[in-house]
Amino acid sequence: MSFIELQDVYKIYKNGVTAIADMSLKIKKGDFVFVIGHTACGKSTLIKMLYREEKPTKGNVFVGGVNVAKLKNSKVYKLRRKIGIVFQDYKLLPKLTAYENVAFVLESYGYKESEIKPKVIEALTRVGLKEKLRSFPDEMSGGEQQRVCIARAIVNKPKVLVCDEPTGNLDPDTSKEIMKVIDSINKEMGTTIIMATHDRDIVNRMKKRVVVIKEGVIAGDYEKGSYKVDEAH
Amino acid sequence: MKPIRILFRSISSAFKSVIRNLSLSVASISCIIITLILVAFAVLLSANINNFTSDIEDDLTMVVFVKKETTDEEIEDLKKNIDAVPNIRDVVYKSKVQIKDEMSKEDETYNRIMSEWKEDENPLKPAFIISVDKIEVMGETANTIMNLEHVDIVKYGKNMVESLVDIFDIVKKVTYVAVIALVFVTAFLISNTIKITIYSRKNEIDIMRLVGTSNMVIKLPFLFEGLFLGIIGSILPVIFTIYGYIFLYDKMGGVMFTKIISLINPYDFVFKVSAVLVVIGAVVGMYGSYKAVRRYLKI
């Protein structure tokens, strides 16, 4: 079985809107996959289903052998410890420093202080923020805040990194730097990356697998694909 | 070790939250203080009522006068029959000579009159002094005894006993209802405080959920916060109880209005009431936050 697998998945919201219809998808361990499509095409729903923020109405969603669709609410946290999530709006706690924002994840897992420090410093060093440990989010640029968000996502060495438009709020140059960081995580740590994005330049430049979603169904799936305007829109 | 670490982190996080949301914490602690002071009033009052009700119950006796011509054997039989009546706690027989002696000792005028009586001129009747278990049914007990052979008169403070019992019963019930109502008001206030804390930390809770923090770890700090608010809120009421009650007790000379109604000795008693207040504060704090966490923390 693939590391991530969707089998005949439907997601119909309570208001009757069908976000995902009969979707099947396989992603191998260590893959880097872009999920592209226009706004409200269903890519965010797909991403959210991977970490069980949304539950499929029908079908199965396997992540690392676990059927997320059948996972009890009380066990969801176990799944999320295996998945790192990178958000468009970073979701950092404004009153905590960069170090504390990353450390609090491990603290909440019950790690010892002596275990936390090296892991946090390693994660922040990997994203190039070793010098900013004591900075608060409002003292950092958007790119730096996104790096803290990535460091927080990888600090527990997850098997998969789910990124929901991580460069959506960033300028092209900063976006490139962020993509370098994410690419290095994929190559050096072997982490599977799934990234929903609108950023045509990034998709075209990186030549990774591209899954195109249109009105809740997969309209195309290309190895080393590119952002095709006619398919995504 | 992991659960202990998580426990300590939750406690520290709860403590920080109390400090961080200081104005909110002060507001709810103030509410808890007021409520617990009222609870303290109610507990002190109801305990004292219970105390002097049982004092009065212990002191209340029934006097059963025996017919004059009754022989010693018949008196012996009557005692057995009285012992067999339900609700009887204690029966003491007093011969007419004993009664005369006691009355003579009690009052100088009685003494002067009675000292002139010759032994066979004593007009008093022998009697049984009876104490009962439940004064609520003293009337029924008296009626049963009245129907026994050789019984002349049964006397007890019927109206006084019944009205005292009724009044104390009402006061006790009112204080119990007041205590229960106040406990619920406190729980509601704490629940509201925790609800606001949850809303003010919504962002943090969302992030914790998304990074895989277990529900228990998310909930624990809020439960501890309620516990802290409850315990901190009980400090002033405890001081009020200890010093206030001791002051009142000394000022009133250990009795309320009349010597019949004696107050409970403060030592031991105030500490027990204080412990009750801390426990109520802690339990109500936890319960209030548990309610808020269950209702408003959708995880």
B207 CB neighbours in chain A (<8 A) are 91, 93
Domain membership of residue A36 (yes or no) is: no
Domain membership of residue A81 (yes or no) is: no
Closest B-chain CA to A113: B5
Domain boundary among B141, B156, B171: B156
Q: Do A53 and B210 touch (CB under 8 A)?
A: yes
Say which of A74, A85, A112 has its CB closest to residue B210: A85
Query: What element of type H or E holds A127?
Result: none
User: Would you say residue B204 has pLDDT above 90?
Assistant: no
pLDDT score, position A200:
80
Domain of residue A139: give its range: 93-155
B4 CB neighbours in chain A (<8 A) are none
Domain membership of residue A197 (yes or no) is: no
Residues B20 and B46 in one domain: yes
Please give the tally of structural domains in chain A: 1
**Residue to substitute from B211, B213, B214, B219, interface A, most A β-carbons within 10 A:** B211
Three-class SS of residue B118?
coil
Q: Do B210 and A80 touch (CB under 8 A)?
A: yes
Residues B20 and B95 in one domain: no
Q: What is the CATH number of the domain that holds B106?
A: 3.30.70.3040
- Cβ of B102: how many Cβ atoms within 10 Å? 11
Q: How confident is the model at residue B247 (pLDDT cuts 50, 70, 90)?
A: very high
Residues B47 and B66 in one domain: no
Strand partners, A164: A196
Reported ipTM exceeds the 0.90 cut: no
As a whole number of angstroms, the distance between CA A185 and CA A202 comes to 16
Residues B181 and B292 in one domain: yes
Cβ A212 vs Cβ A219: under 8 Å: yes
Domain of residue B126: give its range: 61-156
pLDDT score, position B158:
63
Residues B146 and B285 in one domain: no
pLDDT score, position A1:
66
User: Would you say residue A231 has pLDDT above 70?
Assistant: no
Please give the tally of structural domains in chain B: 2
Q: Do B208 and A81 touch (CB under 8 A)?
A: no
Q: Which of A164-173, B50-59, B90-99 has the lowest mean pLDDT?
A: B50-59
Q: How confident is the model at residue B169 (pLDDT cuts 50, 70, 90)?
A: confident
Residues B80 and B140 in one domain: yes
- CA dist A53 → A24, A45, B207 (Å): 19, 9, 12
Closest B-chain CA to A111: B2
> How many distinct helices (H) and strands (E) make up chain A?
8, 10
Q: How many CA atoms lie within 13 A of A159 on its CB side?
A: 16
